[in-house]
Amino acid sequence: MPQNIVLTGFMATGKTTAGRIIADVLRMRFVDVDAEIVRQEGQTVAQVFAQRGEDAFRQIEADLCRQLAQQRNLVIATGGGALINPDTLAAMNETGLVVCLWASPDTIRRRLSGESGRPLAADWEALYERRKPIYESMPHHVTTSGKIPEEIAKEVVTLWRTLTQISP
């Protein structure tokens, strides 16, 4: 039985926003992987990318995800690329219900407009296309386009309760 809920998906699909609501509803602890990296490293994600490179960032991210997978009662919002790594995905799948949040390209474009600070946002369309088959291969999906965060959270909570046999 899963011990954690792990939210993954492309950038701007609502992982952090929905994750906080889910954690509140289920009385679980919320962890945003990117925010935790910022706290541990004392640098923004963009600074880690710029100063140390994407490979270094991905290693930090993978190590943190493996640590979180060993804990219980967490709602974990991963960075958009965290579970592209098969080893990291396997670690999260061992102890967590992995749910891929999905949004249309138009929704992502709208959510990213005017936003800065995401290191891979400049060429996001190409990145989206490269990652799309991996996201599609995940067994649990919740579409976030056209929904408010509370609706997204409700769908994930319902899935969690169904799969863990907890009555609503």
pLDDT value of residue 165: 77
pLDDT digits (tens, 9 = 90+) for 23-76: 999 999 999 999 999 999 999 988 998 899 989 999 999 999 999 999 999 999
DSSP for 23-59? HHHHT-EEEEHHHHHHHHHTS-HHHHHHHH-HHHHHH
Helix (H, G, I), strand (E, B) or coil at 138: coil
Top pLDDT among 154 and 79 is at: 154
Q: Residue 73 CB: number of other CB atoms within 10 A?
A: 12
DSSP at 72: S
Half-sphere exposure of 114 (CA within 13 A, CB side): 2
Distance CA 135, CA 13 (A): 12
Which of 88-97, 98-107, 114-123, 138-147 has the weakest average pLDDT? 114-123
What are the residue ranges spanned by the domains of the chain?
A: 4-164
pLDDT value of residue 114: 67
What are residue 70's phi and psi, to 5 degrees?
-85, -10
pLDDT value of residue 21: 98
pLDDT value of residue 146: 95
User: What fold characterizes domain 4-164?
Assistant: Rossmann fold (3.40.50)
Residue that has been written with the tokens 């950038």 in this structure:
11
- In the sheet with 141-143, reading across from the earlier edge strand, the strands are 29-32, 74-77, 4-9, 96-102, 141-143
Is 80 exceeded by the pLDDT of residue 163? yes
Q: Does the CA dihedral 30-135-87-160 come out positive or negative?
A: positive
Q: Residue 6 CB: number of other CB atoms within 10 A?
A: 30
pLDDT value of residue 123: 78
pLDDT digits (tens, 9 = 90+) for 74-113: 999 998 889 989 999 999 999 999 999 999 999 988 888 8
pLDDT value of residue 153: 98
